Structure 1
Amino acid sequence: MAKLNTVAFEEALSMTGLGKFNFLMFILALLVVTGMTFEVFSVSYLVPASACELDTTVFQQGLIAGIPLLGIIATSHIWGYLADTQGRRKALLWSMVLGYCAGFLATFSPNWIVFAVLKFASSAGLAGCYPLVITLLGESTPQDKRSVIIAFLNTQLFLSSGLMALLSIPVLHMTFAYYIPFLGIHFQAWRLLNLIFCLPCAISGISIYFSYESPKYLLKEGKHDEALEVLKAIYVINTGKSQEEYEVHALSLNEASAESTSTGLWSSFASQTIPMFKPPLLKSTLLLSTLFVIAYVGMQPFVIWMPFIADAFMRSLENGDTGISFCEMLRLAQNQTDTETSDCSLNVVAMTSVFAISLFLGIANALFGSSVNTFGKKKLLIGFMLMSGTCAIFLNFIHNYIASGIMFILYVVSAINFSFLSIYTVDIYPTYVKAMAVCLTLMVGRGSSALGINVLKSLLTYNCELAFYLFGGLTLIGGIISFLLPSDNKKPKTVDE
């Protein structure tokens, strides 16, 4: 059959089909997300578990818990720049390697300061992995399946969090302590757990080494032959046919390129950033950044402190405090813990509950992610934000532990909105700034949540009701602002339109 002369990239990608290659790419993305989740959110379990040995105060624990997000602020922009100028695969590989190395070294921290610094370094290394793997996956997946695939990927965030809770149960209840003289530390259970948490980063790094670069990135760089070879390889893997049967001879991107041609580092860096803050992308950048801030500030602190909240909730139930409000249960449990002998292990039932909640969120994300094309990401985003904000506010008026637990779960279910916001970012921005845009919007959201993490911990201790009024109200505002997003039946405009 005669080959076509020139084919637009999206059409050429669709012609490769959907099959084994896309499945393998999705598995790779799952490994990357698992590695990032395990390392960045490990502080949720390691901070309370290490409190006895490192002798940390409440303030120091809050500081350590927020450190990973500060690391993300520090380097997200850089990773986006590297991905848009050096390649998605190369940047992603270095991201996982650096994250693993710093995470591994954190295992042997002699004090909380060294532990915090190394966690900052590991999160700084991993700051780019989630947005970069979304970009790589999106640019390797046919357009009609892209939204569903990316939405499904976010499910792994929740499943990984649940798996962390399950792993912490047997490990943190081990009682061994091996002294390491030249470091002056005792190798205890929480250090072993940290080693386990950083292993997926190593596995991901090895897997990325054997993966393909994004064909769309190669085409944007003017490497037409290399991009075509990657598409041919995808075609062969997906269909089992020979490269000669792939009916594409040449490719066209049909997309605007960077305006700046300067080779200077600063000029190159600026050329990847400035377009996002100029029309026609300015409105999208401001709107998506605002929504990422609201989503992350409203949800991320509760995800980080979920083990703490679940532990307090379950301890209150064990004491028979079932006819009081959610916040009163947390206060009573904390007061009891303060008067008892220090115990840095986490409640087994509580960790099982964290797993159950994470599993529920993962299933919800999978169900709604698979139907995103049916319901529309805008409607789902608005609906979950409005529902969650309402549940958070009304949580303070409920005096039944079952109803309180349900309302709390319905509040945190809004965390699946990260998927829909990520889809918007991938859809709206052109290739030459796509990775930078995903990194920047995530950086703004995650960075602002660092403040929320410290604020929430204090509020849960001293004014719990205000915490749910503030965070729930913010989520409601996010639902209202989401009405400004482009509708699903209208293709978002990019710089070339």
Structure 2
Amino acid sequence: MESSNDKTSGVSNSVTFDDALSLTKFGQLNYVLIIIAGTILTAFLLETLGISYVIAVAECDLQLSTKEKGVLSGIAFVGVIISSHLWGFLADTMGRRKVIVPTLCLTFGTTALSSFATGFWSIVILRFFAGFFVSGSSATIYAYLGEFHNHRNRSRAIMGASFVFGIGCLLLPAIAYVVINREWALVVPVLNIVYRPWRLFLVVCSLPCLVSGLALLWLPESPKFMLHQGDMKAAIDTIQWMHRVNCGKTVSPLFIDLILADEEDKQFEERRAVLSSSKGFSAMMKLVWDQTAPLFRKPYLNITAIVCFLQFGTYFTSHGLYMFFPEILNQLVESHAAGVDRTTVCNVVYTQNRLINSEVVGDQSCTPQMLNATTYGLSFILEVIYALGFAVIGVLINVVGKLSILVFVFVGCGLSGALMVVVDTPVGGMSLYMILVMAGFGGSVVTAATVDLFPTNLRAMAVCIALMFGRLGGVVGANMLGMLLDTHCEWSFGMSGAILMICTVLSFFIPNINVCTRGNEPLPTLSSKPESCDEVGYVTRKSHPTCESVENIQ
């Protein structure tokens, strides 16, 4: 008996792109994509936040002041900010995979070189370029992952990658503990440096970039991007390959003759025609502008502004304040071990600063620094909470909706920032600081919302710009703490709490933020007259009763 899906049956197997992805089913390929995406997100964290452990122990080798620590901790984010727009444009015009793979390899090479930095400015420059390159993979991977999943599974896939990212975060304190707290030293006469464990720590933190870059060589370009490039055959081949990998050889092959164009595809076709006829630098700059300008016009202007501020506030706290987390946490641990039971976080910081300033100026001795083992233990606990939190969010995001999660995270973390100013026990200060930097949960949820809100031709650019503002928040937060920590410590934590409260209010203005996906959507069937599905920024699938009907914002 012939299969109803067989090409020879005389039926024109035409489906929408979202339905085609549904037919591939959710299987081992999806899990591989989620793991690789999570590894790339982990690589970004190790590249940008791993420096927080370096500045806590390399003060002697690099002769760092508190302000210079702030600069060094935030310089990678500066590279990320400057390059975000470029990578977003290239990802939307050249391809997701063509951006992700080279930037991962370049990041690893730059970081390996930074481990041989001879002074403050050399490591600052190299860390800037590490941030410049890692930005290309970290932002583009969201669009790449999302375009291998249908609308119903897209947010869950992104949160799944965030869960892998949360598990990967455990590597940061683990690597730091295994590598940094060692006493070996290797003299490099050519560079006149001493190669200590913190330098090796930088290289080890960059290994996920190399591993994930090599893994992506096995995977194809996003089928959605290939479809928008006019290569329908390649898109269909990729979808059929996904079906074979997920379903195995025992299942009948998936036959698709045509992927029906929706309104978004037609808009992208017009842009592709303009792109192919454009020559010269000015024409290219006009294309960049045309790629960016729609995000700052109706109907996307309000959405862009909201997600950019939410990412700014999230990174301001979770990344900006995390840069000094190991150092401040170590001070709190040592203060508690010394028998100090009643003191605020800021008083501990002020006391440590006075001790440093009271040292003899002429003393040029340099003793390699180490962190207390309890500091690593508490950092590891924080990362475990992150991993479990992402797992819980991945399960609940389609049940309770994104808004409930954002409000819970922003309010809880914001209150912790305000309480840090007044709580006068080291243990309480440690706990509140750990809760405060958990604002990073909100960033992944906002990114999942961003992927849903924008069409394919603007999606990568929208995510890149939103994350660019997020990294700007990280730079501002790190440098603000570097400037204010020694004299106005309370302002740093109080401002973080206030910004997160503003994020709470803005969360209510994200379009369709209350839409949840419940139940199991029946798989579509191949038909010559497929169900209508318009996707112009917001998905509208009125013919499927289990899907929410979402209208475009006017």
Query: TM-score band, normalised by the shorter chain?
Result: over 0.9
Larger-gyration structure (1/2):
2
Checking the alignment, whether the CA contact within 8 Å between 1:310 and 1:351 is kept in structure 2 is no
Counterpart-to-counterpart distance in 1, 2:94 and 2:73? 32
Change in CA separation of 1:117 and 1:386 when aligned onto 2, cut-off 3 Å: same
Checking the alignment, whether the CA contact within 8 Å between 1:313 and 1:333 is kept in structure 2 is no
> Comparing 456-465 with 191-200, which one deviates more in the overlay?
456-465
State the TM-score, normalizing by the size of structure 1. Answer: 0.94
Shift of 1:364: 1.4
3-state DSSP of counterpart to 2:172: helix
Shift of 1:29: 1.1
Counterpart-to-counterpart distance in 1, 2:188 and 2:426? 45
Does 1:304 find its partner at 2:323?
Answer: yes
Shift of 1:121: 0.5
Q: How does 1:181-220 map to 2 (within 5 A)?
A: 181-220=189-228
Checking the alignment, whether the CA contact within 8 Å between 1:17 and 1:142 is kept in structure 2 is no
Query: What is the letter of the counterpart of residue 205 of structure 1?
Result: G
Q: Name the structure 2 match of 1:81.
A: 89
Q: 1:51 aligns with which of 50, 56, 59?
A: 59
Structure 1 runs (4+) greater than 6 angstroms displaced: none
Does 1:2 find its partner at 2:28?
Answer: no
Shift of 1:107: 1.2
Q: Deviations over 1:395-425 (max 9, x none)?
A: 3222233333333333222220011100111
Shift of 1:339: 5.3
Checking the alignment, whether the CA contact within 8 Å between 2:413 and 2:500 is kept in structure 1 is yes
3-state DSSP of counterpart to 2:214: helix
3-state DSSP of counterpart to 2:421: helix
3-state DSSP of counterpart to 1:397: coil
Checking the alignment, whether the CA contact within 8 Å between 1:236 and 1:242 is kept in structure 2 is no
Change in CA separation of 1:334 and 1:311 when aligned onto 2, cut-off 3 Å: farther
Shift of 1:241: 3.5
Q: Name the structure 1 match of 2:484.
A: 459
Does 1:389 find its partner at 2:414?
Answer: yes
Q: How many residues are paired up?
A: 497
Q: How does 1:212-231 map to 2 (within 5 A)?
A: 212-231=220-239
Identity percentage of aligned residues: 26
Query: What is the letter of the counterpart of residue 80 of structure 1?
Result: G
Checking the alignment, whether the CA contact within 8 Å between 2:101 and 2:217 is kept in structure 1 is yes
Shift of 1:115: 0.8
Q: How does 1:29-428 map to 2 (within 5 A)?
A: 29-241=37-249, 245-256=253-264, 257-258=267-268, 260=271, 261-262=274-275, 263=278, 264-336=283-355, 343-428=368-453
Counterpart-to-counterpart distance in 1, 2:193 and 2:413? 44
Shift of 1:326: 2.8
3-state DSSP of counterpart to 2:187: strand
Change in CA separation of 1:56 and 1:414 when aligned onto 2, cut-off 3 Å: closer
Query: What is the letter of the counterpart of residue 108 of structure 1?
Result: F
Structure number with the higher helix fraction is: 1
Give the root-mean-square deviation of aligned CA atoms.
2.1
Q: Name the structure 1 match of 2:9.
A: none
Counterpart-to-counterpart distance in 2, 1:141 and 1:339? 59
State the TM-score, normalizing by the size of structure 2. Answer: 0.85
Counterpart-to-counterpart distance in 1, 2:191 and 2:48? 24
Does 1:441 find its partner at 2:460?
Answer: no
Query: What is the letter of the counterpart of residue 287 of structure 1?
Result: I
Counterpart-to-counterpart distance in 2, 1:18 and 1:338? 60
3-state DSSP of counterpart to 1:361: helix
Runs of at least 5 residues in structure 2 that lack an aligned partner in the other structure: 6-11, 360-365, 517-534, 540-551
Change in CA separation of 1:466 and 1:324 when aligned onto 2, cut-off 3 Å: same
Does 1:468 find its partner at 2:493?
Answer: yes
Query: What is the letter of the counterpart of residue 248 of structure 2?
Result: G
Change in CA separation of 1:23 and 1:54 when aligned onto 2, cut-off 3 Å: same
Shift of 1:283: 1.5
Q: Deviations over 1:415-461 (max 9, x none)?
A: 20011100111001111111111111101121232122111133332
Shift of 1:117: 0.5
Counterpart-to-counterpart distance in 2, 1:235 and 1:463? 58
Checking the alignment, whether the CA contact within 8 Å between 2:333 and 2:426 is kept in structure 1 is no
Q: How does 1:482-497 map to 2 (within 5 A)?
A: 482-490=507-515, 494=537, 497=552
3-state DSSP of counterpart to 1:179: strand
